[in-house]
Amino acid sequence: MGDRKVRDARRVTAVQPDVVELASALIACDSVTPATGAVFDVLEAALVPLGFHVDRFIMGEAPDGPVENMLATRGTSGRHFAFAGHLDVVPPGSGWTSGAFVPEVRDGLLHGRGAVDMKGAIAAFVAAIPPASDGMISLIITGDEEGPATYGTPVIIDRMAARGIRPDLCLVGEPTSAKHLGDMIKIGRRGSVNIWIDVPGRQGHVAYPHLADNPIPRLVAALSEIDAIVLDEGNAWFQPSNIEVTDITVGNPATNVIPAHASARLSIRFNDEHTGADLAARIEAVVHRHAPEAKVVARISGEAFLTPPGAFSAMIADAITARTGLIPDLSTTGGTSDARFLSALCPVVEFGLLNATMHKLDEAVAVEDLRSLRDIYADILARALA
């Protein structure tokens, strides 16, 4: 596999690489999150002949690092168009028809982990870049979107700020299409916050409850109140926010012992009517009403954001319609993406391949969709930099 990666990296060096060959070369690199090394070598080898300055750097320490990132730029003035994506992938799992990192075209589909999420889109964008253009083009590529993202895109944004780089528009190549390429683009995402609750008690024998303190009833009472909360009814662009209990743990193997601790975990996906900090504070208040000594820890993965429909989303929609005849739906559905960080810089829209096989066994992209996406991206670039 190592020799193959080297050959692929050397082979993809044409000024405008073939989209299928580049996607295959990227897929051939085992890049389970956090990705480093060979997969970045392949991308760099494709970008340098196009005139890009490639800045690769590794940041962070365990447990969330180290992470490799790339900021590739071409041009220094004029309108600045950025493309953002990630080279890391989720673990492949077992049971693939062919190897997860052995790209193979079968029946018009290119198979391999990352084919749609999102090595295919990165290959399509690179293949769409003309040998020369006005304005400035940048690629914001992380090796840790599928993981904690602590040392991923936020670190690239800091590096851009230190260099005075700020895009005017940013396209994120996440797989947004549902049934046909171009039928949906994302103009926003809900925010996400995970909350860990630990309720302390006092261990003791169940026959002597007056000598112990059972934390479970207090935790259950708090979760019952939390479960009854209706955060909102949704709005014009977002579905209702929701709170889900994702884990309850006591870890008590004995039948005659009152436990010393009971814990739970919540996941909240919220729209732009809330902030992560406000929701965390609300949950903490509920828990402390039932269990004043409880420990509540919140981790905000990202805030909700919306790029209001306008010139940028219309530009992308027009490029899609010109190629496919489809008029894409504007959506904010789905999970989080690194667009949540990039939205602080400029208007951000997400558009990419079909998401039907992302994270699944035998992940695959239609070869024709790869070529169509390349052409749509080329049209978007031309419109953006005109």
- Catalytic positions are 88, 145
The answer to whether 307 touches 280, Cβ cutoff 8 Å, is no
Residue 174 labelled as part of a binding site = yes
The answer to whether 167 touches 80, Cβ cutoff 8 Å, is yes
Give the pair of three-digit tokens for residue 175.
Answer: 């797989």
Residue 363 labelled as part of a binding site = no
Residue 80 labelled as part of a binding site = no
- Rounded distance between C-alpha atoms, residue 351 and residue 338, angstroms: 13
Q: Please report, in range form, the residues annotated as the binding site for Zn(2+).
A: 86, 117, 146, 174, 359
Q: Please report, in range form, the residues annotated as the binding site.
A: 86, 117, 146, 174, 359
